[in-house]
Structures are given as C-alpha cells and as structure tokens.
Amino acid sequence: MSGRIEQLLRNNQAFVAAQLALDPGYFEKLSEGQHPEFLWIGCSDCRVPPDSITGTEPGDMFVHRTLANLVVQTNMTLLSVLQYAVEVLQVQHVIVCGHYGCGGVKAAMGDADHGLIDNWLRTVKDTQDYFWPQLGVLEEAARFRRLVELNVIEQVNNLGKTHVIQDAWKAGRRPMIHGWVFDLASGFLRRHTGEINGNHAIHEVCKFHGAGAGAPA
C-alpha cells in the first residue's frame, strides 16, 4: 500500500483519538442519525471543502458536488439528493456555491474539445452565449470571474424551478435558496443572490423575467 494511503489511515486514527478526547460519546451520537439544516450544492473542486470554509461540523450540512456546481434538471442523482434533503431531512437552506478559478467554467469559455465533459458544460456555454453582450466587453480574467457569478445565479434559478422546491413552496415550507461564490484568493464567501423563498424571488434572478441575472449582485 502506498505511503500516502497509509498516511490517510493514520490521519483517521489521529482524528478518532482527538474527537474521543474531547467527547467520549462523539461517535455514538454521530451514528444516531443526521439532522442537517443545510444542503450544499457545490463544485467538485478539491480546493472548496464546504465544512472547512463554513466552519460546520459533521451532521450540519448535507452535500452534493458536481463539476461547475451545475443544477441540471435531468440529473437524477442531484434530484434524488434534493428530494431526500428537502422532504426527508427537511433542510432549511440550500446553498449553491461556485468558486472563482473554476476549471469547468474555464473549459466552457473556449472552443477546445474536452470530450464527454463538453456535454455536461453545455449549460455554462449557453449562459455565456446569453450574457455575451455583458461578458464580451470584459478582459478575459474579468469575464472568467463574471461567468462564474452568472453561472451560480443561473443554477439558483434552475434549482428554484425543480418540482421538489416548487412543491415545498406551494406547501408553505422552506427551503430558502442562496447563491454564493467562494474566492480562492481570499478565502471569503460572497453572496450573489438574496434569500430566495418563492417564485417572486426566483423571478428577480431569472434572465427571462427582466434579465435579473445580468446585473452584478
């Protein structure tokens, strides 16, 4: 077994010892079930660990991660996670979080052939095409950052239109939806939508209702 793998297992042993020293019943309580308040829909990028950057503990946050933090209406994995989080775990907030420097967004900006992933990133290309009047006048670095932001806003819009969220809102229940971007260069999370708790708020970020996503948040 490689040395790096052995190191991971040793790290786990140290983690267990440290937790038990603080609370001898920690793992017993952890095994009793989860009651998270948040669902995190983020990018798969290994530099954006949701618990570390938000200071949350195991059990606080249900997590789903995809390339470029996309909410695709035909992705059954995402829809299943969303339904379980909203209907069974009854999370109060769903956070869609992108990050500056996202490799998926960067790939979608160009014309190079990346194989299968190009199908997944088509929605980011569509966002770029729609907002090109705004993006095209920017220098490449600024365009990259702005497309990351617009992509988050678009995914918030997509999320709000899923049947899971629509059914919850019709029943007068949460969750609230939030669109954030993580800045790798500073470590800060930045909001790019308000707290969205109904269709009236979704319309404010939907490009088809006054192009709300076109204005910097």
List the catalytic residues: 43, 45, 47, 99, 102
Distance CA 47, CA 36 (A): 23
Distance CA 145, CA 136 (A): 13
Distance CA 154, CA 117 (A): 19
User: Which one, of 85, 90, 92, lies nearest residue 71 by Cα?
Assistant: 85
What is the full DSSP assignment across 81-147?
HHHIIIIIS--SEEEEEEETT-HHHHHHHS----TTHHHHTHHHHHHHHHTHHHHTTS-HHHHHHHH
| DSSP type of residue 35 | -
What sign has the CA pseudo-torsion 168, 170, 171, 174? positive
The structure tokens 């999320």 sit at 159
**Contact between residue 59 and residue 29 where contact means Cβ atoms under 8 Å apart:** no
**Contact between residue 135 and residue 128 where contact means Cβ atoms under 8 Å apart:** yes
* Residue 93 CB burial class (10 angstroms; 0-12, 13-18, ≥19): middle
